[in-house]
Amino acid sequence: MTETITSTTAGLRCFGDGDPLYEAYHDTEWGLPVHGDAELFERIALEGFQSGLSWITVLRKRPAFREVFAAFDPEAVAAFGEADVERLLGDARIIRNRMKIEATIGNARALVALHDEGRTLDELFWSFAPAARSENRPAAWADVPATSPESLALSKALKKAGFRFVGPTTMYAAMQACGVVDDHLATCPSVRR
C-alpha cells in the first residue's frame, strides 16, 4: 500500500505537487500494480491520448473518457462504429483526435481478438515486466529512461496483435503507471521498499 503523503512530505513527490488531482493520482495510483483487461485497456488508451500532451490534461478528462468509452469495456468499445467516432469527435470533454479515437476502438477490437485466441491483455502486458530494480533509484527525472528493452518488446508484441498508438515510449509510460516498473524517485515518499 502506498504511504499517504502528508504536509511534512509534500514537495518531495516525483510529480504532482500543487494540484490536488495530480497529487492524489501520484499518491494512490501511479506505480501500483494494475491487473485486469478492462483496466489495462483503459490505461493503454489514456496513455495513447496523452501522447504529445501533458498527463494532467488526460487526468482531468478521465471521467468523461470513462463515460464516452463505456467504462472501457472492450466488448462495448469494439462495437463502436463511424457514428460513434463522429460522436466522440464532437465531445469537447475529451481529447478529440480522430487517429487516437480510432486507435482506441481498434485496440478494443484487438483485445477482443486476443480473447478469441484464449489470451488476455493482462498476461501479455505483465509478461514484459523487467527483473526487479536494484536499490539504486533515479535521483531526478533526467535519470529515468523514456523507453526500455521491455517496453520496446511490449510495443512490438501489441502491434503484432493489432494494437495501435502503443509505441515504446507510450508503453514505458503505461508500464510505469501500472506498476510493471517502479520509477518513483529516490526522494519520493511513495517509494516501495
Q: Is 55 a catalytic residue?
A: yes
Which value, to the nearest 10 degrees, does the dihedral of the CA atoms of residues 23, 24, 30, 33 take?
A: 160
> Choosing from 22, 25, 126, 172, which is the catalytic residue?
25
Q: Is 86 a catalytic residue?
A: no
> Choosing from 22, 30, 42, 47, which is the catalytic residue?
47
3-state secondary structure of 148: coil
Of the candidates 112, 117, 64, which has an alpha carbon nearest to the alpha carbon of residue 91?
64
Cell readout for 116 is 478469441
Q: Is 47 a catalytic residue?
A: yes
Cell readout for 166 is 502503443
> Choosing from 23, 39, 55, 102, which is the catalytic residue?
55
Helix 168-177, helix 149-160: angle, nearest 10:
110
Q: Which residues are catalytic?
A: 25, 47, 55
